[in-house]
Structure 1
Amino acid sequence: MNALPQPSAPLKIVVVGSVAAGTSAAAKARRNTETAQITVYERDHDISYSGCGLPYFVGGEVKDIDELTPRDPAWFKARYDVDVHTGHEVVAVDADARTVTVRDLATDRTFVDTYDELVLATGVHAVVPPIPGVDSTGVFSVRTPSDARAIRAWIEDGESRGRVVRHAVVVGAGYIGLEMTEQLVARGLTVTVVEALDHAMPRLDADMSVRVDGELRKHGVDLRLGAVVVGIASDDGVVTGVAVEGGPPGADHIDAELVIVSVGVRPNTDLAEQAGVLIGPTGAVAVDRRQRTSVEHVWAVGDVAESFHVITGDPVWVPLGSTANKMGRIAGDAMTGGPLEHRGILGTSIVRVFDLGVAQTGFTEDQARAAGYDVEVLHNIKPDRPEYLGGKPLVLKAVADRATGRLLGAQAIGATGADKRIDVLATAITFGADVADLFHLDLAYSPTYATTKDPVHYTGMALTNAIHGQAPLVTPTELDRRRADGELIQVVDVRSAKDRARSAVPDSVHIPLAELRKRSSELDPALPTITYCNKGVTGNAGQNVLRNLGFTDVANLSGGNQSYQARPAASS
């Protein structure tokens, strides 16, 4: 008589980390199988929280931290039969033995657990620069709910301590730094932002990030660009101010009762390196499209792992919650027999800076040039919907490959509508759209939401015409460069006298569009000519007039006078 087959042991999955990626991996694995034993270890006490929402709790826009941490271990156990152990730090990994060493932080007890599949979702470390005094009380980073609770308590309990928090310094003007700045201003604090680079939001091209600089200053923020904090002053260990190098002369000390250090994050690869996995060129863990590392049975997801760029296929590291969720789901599916694979990212992002949405996807102009592309660049300034229904200006910068016409990237800044347009353009880039395809998109139209010719449509039209030589474009930066190189260019202002009186491109000739046909003899048809208006449309009309009259080298100033006046050189 043959022996009955013995049931195999259930798959044992251990996940290290329980924010976006780790919990997503655990949940997807459970959806695929009821037999797996799934354990999550988390050294903190909050799980599955919205890290991007933390500044809004500090500012009071989110009233209760529980709104950002809606799920706890009991919820995961009841919903997914996943054992989540908070306050438990995985301190070692032995990939050969397939074990992890875990410390219970409450008791300091250490124990060893085994795994069949190990998911590293260890996230990031906040970068804390080695500034003298950075460990003073009242100096914070912003990464976890515990950080947010501590910052809010520090502000709200100031009066009871006998030292009210009125002045804050934010070090770093990236996403978290800008969100914290907005929220601290909303709380009534006087805020100084210290940024080592030339502009806030340095992920954008300078001719777009300069607009973020202006928005910060418009709301009373003391923005110190090209400056670094070199020391933090304290009284009895409590912060009193910061010492700064660079920035305005004589402004080398800033009073502060609160300092937020937000200069960036780095992937937390300590356990990954113990496991012997390959670290990629970005400094994050190298993974394949299934989130597998170079070591068998070890997976990496979320901010600790590399992704790859949709356009080039090159490794990239852009730590965002949306990407982390996808990676976790893919790993949880793959290790339980599913077909999911990662398809790459564009680094699409958006942040609110006071009254503006600031969005980006794909390559910036600088990144595209660095990658070797010959690019066409458009600055498109249009209302997000008709002005008669409250439409407000939306500035959209798009970058395309001249050789193929492929859209490579876009940036959008506006009070409303930046999110919609950047998502449309991210979708177009993901599926390899030619800029000519943008005009043909059947986008939703109603005057309460959009214009009949949407900014996305106009972007496609203008870039197509520029690439095919029908309506060439010149950016403000390129105009300045060509003039600085000694090139003789005639610049024609086709606006009204009223508009010209407000501001104008230097050394330009004023011939309003209505007079251009009759007065074209005042111009030299043999010279390179650039037409411009306020935003670009009337300049394009002037460009067409001159081309039809026999002028052979006529370009339109991208984004018109508004872009020219907002260019980085004008802000310095």
Structure 2
Amino acid sequence: MKKKVIIIGAVGGGATTASQIRKLDNDIEIILLEKTSYLSYGACGMPYYLGDVIKDRESLFAATPEQLHTKKNIDVRMHHEALKINREKKSLLIRDHDRNEDYEETYDYLVLATGASPFIPNIPGIDQIPSFHLRTVEDMDRIKQFLETSKPDSCTIIGGGFIGVEMAENFTHLGMKVNIVERSEHVISIIDEETAAGLQNHITEKGVNLYTKDGLKEVLPENTLKLDSGEMLQSDFILLSVGVKPRNHLAKDAGLSIGKSGGVISNEYMQTDDDSIYAVGDVVESIDFVDNAPKQVPLAWPAHRQAYITAKHVTGDPVPFKGMLGTAIAKVFDLSIASTGLGEKELKKKGYTYQTVVHEGKSHAGYYPGAHDVYVRVHFCPETGKIFGGNVVGGEGVDKQIDILATAIYGGLSVTELQEIETCYAPPFSSPKGMLNMIGYKAAGKMNKK
């Protein structure tokens, strides 16, 4: 008898799961549910659409419901919301918002791709000022309409993570005066303080006012913002960018295990406590590749990889998910900042013994025009040489360095074996010894002698 899979959520993880299952199995029935009006869109491109870098809104969308139905025989149901899972009956209660009707649908397999919701802090007086968050297309459209109709001169971004610094750049490009308020000691708190220092200098040089180790205490009349430090700011609107929390209510109500991060716990095949229910993307608490500790990372790569793992398992050809490093990068004005694996703050928190090696160099041969400064910082075990992680900041080629480092970690290379990677060289691209080669040479002197 033909099997049926229902997938809840049709953005990155959900839409990719549906497509991957269909690629592997022509016969299985696939139902894809999406509560909103949009599916399969590039959320990471939204800051650049708001900054008028990406002109065409429609270019953010990878597929339409009609395309998924016609080309892949996927039953896409827009404006359909999953309300309750009945694990005993293997059924799902669904609300059709267009008809305002509820109905039940049985399943053989169920995939939770419900994503995450923005964390909205409880700030007194916030209703006195236009405030937004950026997570969905609807959020993006609301901000765009406000920018076009109100033509604001200033903005305060609460939270200096990846989205916060990207939006600071894009709002600055629109001619606004921008403030960033960040509770941590520096922006992008997952990177090391030393790496962040150069980035913060660059941000302030571009005219952004940066308030670290501070928070928004309350909003006073006439768009006045009072910070925890007592600092007063004037701002035409607020963008809240203080993190996300997994949308785990369906899983929780169904009695599935939830991790400390709020993510749904899954095994190496993305199965939850219930063998017939899988979870992918931002709703999942998975494992860290470096030390197998629980890890919940709301990024695109894990969501797409987990979609493939789920599809392979559902179609009877299992491949395990080996964990995630949390490799991430952001463009911030003229610099790029990237990280992978465990940073110094996390290593200290977990009580690791580690050494750090730093290399500062040029993105390509210094005598060839246009070389940019690049700073590389890598952490490793001084006994075994195991690479724990690292971060990179610079004006060019940052993605290349972090990708090589992530590949080395996945491949199990020791830090000294970075010497042996034969990277390509020509003056416009690199140096005879690549930057991570240099990390490997420098690390040799910091290994404990046996």
- Which residue of 1 is the match for residue 179 of structure 2? 192
* Gap change, CA 1:151 and 1:279, over 3 Å in 2: same
- Which residue of 2 is the match for residue 210 of structure 1? 197
Q: 1: distance between equivalents of 2:198 and 2:14?
A: 37
**Is the partner of 1:147 in helix, strand or coil?**
helix
Tell whether 2:387 aligns with 1:431. Answer: no
Shift of 1:135: 4.2
- Which residue of 2 is the match for residue 444 of structure 1? 424
Which of 58, 80, 85 is residue 66 of structure 1 equivalent to?
Answer: 58
Q: 2: distance between equivalents of 1:241 and 1:331?
A: 49
Tell me which amino acid in the other structure corresponds to 1:123.
G
CA contact (8 A) 1:287 1:305 kept: yes
* Ranges in structure 2 where 5+ consecutive residues have no aligned partner: none
Which of 18, 27, 40 is residue 19 of structure 2 equivalent to?
Answer: 27
Tell whether 2:408 aligns with 1:408. Answer: no
CA contact (8 A) 1:170 1:194 kept: yes
Count of matched residue positions in the alignment of Structure 1 and Structure 2: 449
Which of 228, 234, 244 is residue 245 of structure 1 equivalent to?
Answer: 228
Shift of 1:366: 2.5
Q: Which runs of 4+ in 1 moved over 6 A?
A: none
**Is the partner of 2:215 in helix, strand or coil?**
strand
Cα deviation 1:340-371 (Å, max 9, x = unaligned): 22111111110111111100011112322333
Q: 2: distance between equivalents of 1:66 and 1:135?
A: 32
Which runs of structure 2 are paired with 1:62-141 in the superposition (5 Å)? 62-135=54-127, 138-141=130-133
Q: 1: distance between equivalents of 2:220 and 2:98?
A: 34
Q: 1: distance between equivalents of 2:111 and 2:128?
A: 36
**Is the partner of 1:350 in helix, strand or coil?**
strand
RMSD: 1.5
CA contact (8 A) 1:65 1:145 kept: no
Which of 257, 269, 276 is residue 297 of structure 1 equivalent to?
Answer: 276
Which runs of structure 2 are paired with 1:483-498 in the superposition (5 Å)? none
Cα deviation 1:256-282 (Å, max 9, x = unaligned): 222100000011100011221111233
Which runs of structure 2 are paired with 1:109-188 in the superposition (5 Å)? 109-135=101-127, 138-158=130-150, 164-188=151-175
Give percent identity, aligned residues only. Answer: 29
Tell me which amino acid in the other structure corresponds to 2:83.
V
Shift of 1:137: 6.1
Which of 346, 355, 366 is residue 367 of structure 1 equivalent to?
Answer: 346
CA contact (8 A) 1:395 1:413 kept: yes
Shift of 1:206: 1.2
**Is the partner of 2:445 in helix, strand or coil?**
helix
Which of 287, 290, 300 is residue 308 of structure 1 equivalent to?
Answer: 287
Q: 2: distance between equivalents of 1:400 and 1:46?
A: 43
CA contact (8 A) 1:25 1:333 kept: no
Which of 398, 410, 435 is residue 418 of structure 1 equivalent to?
Answer: 398
Which of 344, 353, 362 is residue 323 of structure 2 equivalent to?
Answer: 344
TM-score (norm 2): 0.97
Q: 2: distance between equivalents of 1:103 and 1:27?
A: 24
Cα deviation 1:407-431 (Å, max 9, x = unaligned): 2111100000111011001111112
CA contact (8 A) 1:276 1:295 kept: no
- Indicate the structure whose relative CO is greater, using CA pairs within 8 Å and at least 6 residues apart: 2
TM-score (norm 1): 0.76
CA contact (8 A) 1:24 1:325 kept: yes
